[in-house]
Amino acid sequence: MGLEEILAEYITEAKLEDLPGDPIATTKNVVLTIMGTTIAGARTEGCQEVVQQVREWGGKEESSILIHSGKVPACNAALANSFMARALDFCDGMSPGIHIGASSVPTGLAVAELVGGCSGKDFLTALVVGSELAARLNLSESAYNGFDPTGVCTVFATAAIAGKILELNSKQMLNALALAFNRSGGSFQSNIDGSLAVRLIQGFVSQSGIMCAQLAGRGITGPKDFLEGVYGYFHLFSGDEYDSQSILADLGTKFRMTNLLFKKYPSCGSTLASTDAILQVVEENNLVAEDIDQIMISVTPYTYNLVGSPFKIGENPKVDAQFNIQYCVANAILRRLPELRHFDEAYVRDPNVVDLIKKISVVSDTKLMERGNRTAALRVVTKEGRNYQAIVDRPRGFPDNPLIQEEHDKRFRDCMEYAGWSISDDRAEKILSSVRHLELLEDVRTLINVLT
């Protein structure tokens, strides 16, 4: 069998009993994360407009729009719910910038409703193997070269998850993934320009994954060599630089989807090292904004291109702030530990932040690549002439410096506090308990009931 067929068969045949504990535990934290970010992000910029649009599109009432209520076709519910899940950019991620959970969880929930119910065991299995597929097909930053990894690669996860819950056979699954290949796309220019398209790309891959799985179930075929073909995935997105044996290595026994970032701070993953570095300096030396004359930050070229440009406030201040090192560093100096509310427009436009940003410069340094693509080196010069330096290679929340479980639970409760209006303490604790024992749920639609 070819690479494509092996992967499709693995996804089709996998059972929860076959999965080790680590990917199951990781997936539970993904579900908890996305439940929290969906609740907290449900009324941020663009969410109500997207919800209204999918309602106006109409169609068969298959799956729920979370928080806002109402039912629409499953693919459109997943689009709206994924948009909300990504709205605060506090969801899980993976280097070099792929976001899987903000699509995998909404996709799984929408399809569970579509089919009339799905056990927690089957839901967990679908999420693990779909996420694992995306993790194995994930490319390097140089291969993506400005393509959004979420738009390019996560669509394979959503097609696999949808197909698994729809109980496609291996041939149908192969076609679902092949059709998904034809939906790969998206650009980091959306992030750089601070546009709401960042969130919409997340929704597109959920919508597309469900559509592709449904079409494959109807017998619609896709290119059988969609990965290794002359014009396949690896040719188009990585210049034919890939190793099929590496992609298949330890399939089913070792899981790459556990290499996830769970952010300690609610901003782009590429801003986290700089945030860690400035917090280290100001806390160790008891510095305040008034002490600082200038701050110089060096980052890798990839990080600079994504989040290092001079800060400016455009049409979407929250996105502008989430994807900018200058803002994140200034915010950490003034307010210490970054919180979700610090990326709301009133905080972003705070004159104290704007003035402090003028003292912060960010440059690209290729030498830092020797330490890793996440590295940030920072130097603070005070008005009294003192110099303080910090360099961070392993930001908190990345797989080589992970959060502990108590921090995962705190992130969820922080989301509940930020949302304020939507979820009672009792309901929040019910969500926590349900996710911790997800494999025991007879029907994951109970999670949907809590969110509608």
Supply the angle between the helices 74-86 and 101-114 in degrees, to the nearest 10: 150
Report pLDDT digits (tens) over 385-402. 999 999 999 999 999 999
Q: Which domains does the chain have, with CATH numbers?
A: 3-263+404-450 (1.10.4100.10), 269-392 (3.30.1330.120)
Report pLDDT digits (tens) over 109-155. 999 999 999 999 999 999 999 999 999 999 999 999 999 999 999 99
Task: Determine the Cα–Cα distance for residues 204 and 151; give it in Å rounded to an integer.
Answer: 8
In 3D space, the residue among 377, 354, 353 whose CA is nearest the CA of residue 366 turns out to be 377
pLDDT at residue 336, rounded to an integer: 95
Task: Determine the Cα–Cα distance for residues 65 and 89; give it in Å rounded to an integer.
Answer: 20
Q: What is the pTM of this model?
A: 0.94
68-76 long-range contacts (CB < 8 A, ≥24 apart) are: 68/42, 69/452, 74/110, 74/111, 74/113, 74/114, 74/210, 75/110, 75/206, 75/207, 75/208, 75/210, 75/211, 75/214, 76/207
Report pLDDT digits (tens) over 84-104. 999 999 999 999 999 999 999
Structure confidence at residue 452 as a pLDDT band (50, 70, 90): confident
Task: Determine the Cα–Cα distance for residues 216 and 211; give it in Å rounded to an integer.
Answer: 9
